[in-house]
Structure 1
Amino acid sequence: MRADTFTKQDTDIASEYNPFIPPQLDNPYPIYARARKEAPVFYNTMLDLWIVTSYDDISHILKNPAYFSSIHNFDPAYPLPPEVVEILKQGYSKIFTMVVSDPPEHTRLRKQLQSVFNEKKFATMELRIKEISNELVDKFWHDGQADLVTQYSKLLPLTVMFDLMGLPRTDMNIIKQTCDEISILLWGQSVSLENQIAYAHNIVALQHYLAAQVEERRAAPRDDMLSELANTCVEGQMPLTTSEIVNLVTTLLFASNGTITYWLSNALMLLNHPAELQILREDLSLVDKYIEETIRMEPPIQGLIRTAKQDVKIRGIEIPAGARFQVMIASANRDETHFPDPDRFDIHREKLAYKHLGFGQGIHRCIGSYLAKVQGRIAIQVLLQRLPNLRRKQNQLLEFEPNLIFRILKGLIVEW
């Protein structure tokens, strides 16, 4: 079956699917559930994407890079205007490198990054993460309420990454703004040309800023991770170029400001499960299970992009080489065939860390997943210990930023 021979059900799902507007912007999970039953793979003309919603199909695609490429993983949702493309050419060829590459390039880059960005390194940061978490809570604990998105989850991960990299915190606000602009420029909606041009200039400025930081550390290494990246070469591998380091560091900064921040916000959003929250308050040793269940229920990444390297057939549908897929991680994590009663938050689910796809799967599984979970564990423990009566403000309307890739909570007001 080809795209032009859809059933009526397929056509209904395909025409209704629009992640940029309500109701899907506010709650995409009902249409994912419908798609899994009625049309697990469908083509959306607006996005020019094949949307894949079942766990097994998504797992197959993620684990088979020989057939499904990641090169277009972070392509813009819509083509960028020529003026914007020309500005971006003044920087480096890619905003991201490792996450938009296939083997052997991906293998080399990941090995180099893992040599300095690993669990051993993260273990040394736990005390610092706790200190930063407490510093942030100190700023609002006496107020009786706070926006946990803007005052906590948006600040903690990027601060941790700045300290790891050895970047001055005085530069954090402008870099945070630029990371936000990358997400809006590439996957947001209804962005004016004027803003797109401004965002492109800021992205190029960030790349040049990071290149200067790299060269400084090559000339005079410091005790930070950026110096290690600039001066370390894994045996048998070519050293990283300045361009590659800039793009790797941009990816890490973006992930800290984006992916980890969005997930932590979503994890805190699940404070609306008071029974489970009380269980956690009474036994903080369950925090790791809480974290895995929040990643399953509300992953920060809704879907990743893959491109068919050759003609493929999925569920009887013939899809040509060059076609792009969005594999909906958020749908896979609620697939009834793998997660019983998937819309129920259950802190006692077993072996989730090995099953949910919240951090991806295969060779592109998130390299910072361990650090993300360490930050999440500490951030939640600090909140519950410092604010024992923490609860969501009643009658609060939760709003989300329109975005093709991420689920981005705008704010979360809590009281205590």
Structure 2
Amino acid sequence: MTDITTRVRDVLPAVRADLENLVRIESVWADPDRRGEVQRSAEEVAKLLSEAGFGDVRIVAEGGAPAVIAHHPPPPGAPTVLLYAHHDVQPEGDRSQWYSEPFEPTERDGRLYGRGTADDKAGIATHLAAFRAHGGNPPVGVTVFVEGEEESGSPSLSRLLAAHRDALAADVIVIADSDNWSTEVPSLTVSLRGLADCIVEVATLDHGLHSGMWGGVVPDALSVLVRLLASLHDDEGNVAVDGLHESTAAPVEYTPERVRADTGLLDGVQEIGSGSVAQRLWAKPAITVVGIDTTPIAKASNTLTPCARAKVSMRVAPGGDAAEHLAALTRHLEQHTPWGAQVTVTPGDVGEPYAIDPSGPVYDAARAAFRQAWGNDAIDAGVGGSIPFIAAFASAFPDAKILVTGVEDPDTQAHSINESLHLGVLERAATAEALLLDRLARSDRQIAT
């Protein structure tokens, strides 16, 4: 299998060039003005897969963004492996905060900067490299599924899975959209938190009032909203909503120094919550206020604000039910609104958490491939973020084994400014996937050894 390592290294320059071309396409499905770019991105992905040797390549859509399905049939008796990635990306945010243009890939200090370099166009690059390393003729069947709206919550994924179930059916599903413990130590993601969000609006007046005339007698909506949002946490920063689920995280060491290094926590700012970092990050619920609508400072006057609203996002621990958690959050907001203010809670998106039992020959094969490619054993890690489509895959293909891997590392800054890919991680991730395809072609007895 050493030859596979060499072949991955040989194909990487061309794979990197293809990745850079994909990054230059502004495939932001959340921006209606750039949906043409998402179509162009899908066409480029389809072209790359066709050129790599996939004989059956289709661009499909079921009322949402274009996705790409490519299939290479298995040799007789061999399993089929589904390789997942997504070609849509997050909006770039304030371009002035990027060190280089967000859609012009730029290398600095062994990292490739640009929106989508890691999340998740590098997932596409990983699949291309693994397939090309086998000369376009791997020892297993390979289906590649590249989604186009993951960053918008995958709203049409269930329809895609239903409409193309036969084309996507597989024995093993590899989802390349997660993190690694470090640039030198890989991870197999074994749990992910779910997601539930809502918009809460409070109102106290039918029109604004002079704050000098009525301040101190009549509550303004923004003060009501601030007090209401503060009730979501206790003094330690633990979530204070009743009825939420908590699970158990793996006993891995996550030091305070690493927290500060990985997050950019400012001097003097303390961590919140109780329990280990892994427990708080992977196995407990979390609530974040992600946006507020009120009068901007530039337009502020001495006026009591009649209404204000906020978007509240909750992460649901593995084992919890996202819809039930959203109901609990709604009850809390309705019951804790101060001073009799009117409150309206509008439910938003929900995505279920997921936990994987990482035992058996498929996971043994993955760990062996990671060990050989990285030179270190993979850590079974949780992820604090949500990938709701994993639960959708598990429901659609209950007999398939799901491996959640990725090309990100703690410095990737996915979704943030200056997103980047560590080029050494790309090589190791591609090598591990190529080795995995080889190992999965063996008998169960051989895979387990």
**What range describes the TM-score normalised by the shorter chain of this pair?**
under 0.3
| Higher Cα Rg, which structure | 2
TM-score, normalised to structure 2, is 0.25
Greater helix share, structure number: 1
Larger strand share, 1 or 2:
2
